[in-house]
Amino acid sequence: MNFDYIIVGGGSSGCVTANKLVSKGANVLVIEQGGSDWNPLLRMPAGFIPMLNGSPYHTFHKTIPQKQLNGRQHDIAQANVLGGGSSINGMVYMRGKPSDYNRWKDALNGEAWGWDDIIINYKKQESNQRLNNAYHGIDGPLKVSDPNYVVKGTDLYIKTMQELGLPYNRDFNDGTQYGVGLMQLTTNYGKRCSAVEAFLKPIKNNKNLKIVLKTIVTKIIFEGDKAIGVETLNKGKINKYFANNEIILTAGAYISPKILMLSGVGDENELSKHNIKTICNLKGVGKNLQDHHEVPFVAETKSGYGYFKQDKGIRMLINGLQYMLFNSGPVTSNAAETCSFLNPRDLSDNKEPPIKLYCVQIMYTDRDTKDINPTHGLTLTSCIMNPKARGEVTLKSSNPLDRPLINPNFFSNEDDLNLLMDSVKFARTVIDTNPLKEIVIKEVLPGTKINTDNELRDYCKRTVKTNWHPVGTCKMGLETDKFAVLDSKLRVHGLKNLRVFDVSMMPSLVSANTNAPAMAIADRATDMMLN
């Protein structure tokens, strides 16, 4: 079966790409490994919270043993549903800061991937509820709004950070991140606005669009150095689809490099281990893995300030009824309504704040902190924005059903560990400052018995985890960069008719949640391909 374009991956980037191509009259096939996003729970902003520790809409990878973490293996979740992360994430709409993108531009000798370039794409996509200025749009398909519901604990956190000297930031997306404020979300009057809702729904009945779900792409088919099609597996049946024009990978930072390597595109030394014939020797495929990683700080609080037991008993019934009738109340919250960008070592440093400090109005627990007894509380999550650590994605075998081997390599650089340790120390200052101090009962994690630097380092190593923002494994760069996989138009070096439009293209990680960048990148890349 032939199409003009084949898109491998139906996540945020894939949805944007499909919309733009179909709208131009192209015949497009989208292949998604996960299933449909039909579940009404996915439309509810709070619906993703009970899924965080497992659901049919997630794939849980386990890292290889991490030597620098005393052999620990930690879980890394990936979306497994149409819409990708946009269907199951915390809905935070965040872009990063100008220097993030200007580093890309510098690495490309001035090619058009700087802040002033990509802000055009952000504006074009956006329909902002409140902001209409040089940095925001109001006519795009992607709905962006302020939190629909805010609990008392959120207000207290914002006031406390101002008491400590941080300014209030009314817009984290105008290029200035420093300060504390509310995060904007991809929501619309209390409902999630996923990439499916924004970009696929308007074209779902277009005869030029075909979506294939629950289907694995086993390899790209080449004719010499030209990509001509893909081989797929669905319920044990192998199918082949062919592209008249281009094949575009939008499968994310773990799976896009996996597909390339299975297809013979990657480091020939790595491919030879699995008896895969090399089509194109690109050493950078799977390398340069970067991810925001975080360490939690948990405190018990007085009741009435957060979301504890809002999903239980009579409160659940009341909140559910309020949501069904009015699209309002706690169900419209992502529980992480506020954050601050800061330097925990110097709060007056307003240039390049290295830490994003979330305040989540629950005791957030996962597989690594499940031994605590949840009660009324909050979690201050220290998240490093521009980590120095670099990891990699490699193949377990030549079997496409095997998950890739993921080595995030968190804390392989001591600077990252020391920065997050200092941020955890700063969190103690936060809960000991009014007005937040007035509601805090006690520190739960790390706990007051952990005080020395060595103890805090051990705690960080035990609890560090992904913020779900892996990027960089097919990085964009000049041909003279031996680890560059893509050129400035996101074409795979050395090959024809093959591009990568997802966040694996990032040479360096942006200081932001990656869903909004994934959509803006795809928008810009598609324009480059068509023009």
Instruction: Pick the catalytic residue from 74, 136, 376, 469.
Output: 469
Beta carbons of 213 and 465 less than 8 angstroms apart: no
Helices (H) and strands (E) in the chain, counts: 12, 24
Q: Cα dist. 59→32, 87, 116, 422, 426 in Å?
A: 13, 14, 36, 32, 34
Rounded alpha-carbon distances, angstroms, from residue 328 to 46, 149, 310: 11, 7, 14
Tell me how far apart the alpha carbons of residues 296 and 72 are, in angstroms, rounded to a whole number. Answer: 17
Query: How many beta carbons lie within 10 A of that of residue 268, not counting itself?
Result: 15
Q: How far apart are CA 21 and CA 178, in angstroms?
A: 37
Torsion angle of alpha carbons 304, 307, 309, 314, nearest 10°? 80
Helix (H, G, I), strand (E, B) or coil at 274: coil
Q: How far apart are CA 448 and CA 377, in angstroms?
A: 16
Do residues 383 and 268 touch, judged by C-beta distance below 8 A?
no
What the block records as the tokens of 165 is 């000297």
Give me the phi and psi of 153, to 5 degrees please.
-60, -30
Query: Which of 366, 510, 435 shows the shortest CA–CA distance to 154?
Result: 435
CA distance 186 to 332: 11
Q: Which residues contact 203 (CB under 8 A, 6 or more apart)?
A: 18, 19, 22, 23, 209
Q: Amino acid identity of 425?
A: K
522 three-class SS? helix
Q: How far is 250 from 9, CA to CA, in rounded Å?
A: 5
| Neighbouring-strand partners of residue 226 | 223, 496
Tokens of 327: 């699209």
274 classed as catalytic: no
Catalytic residue numbers, as ranges:
469
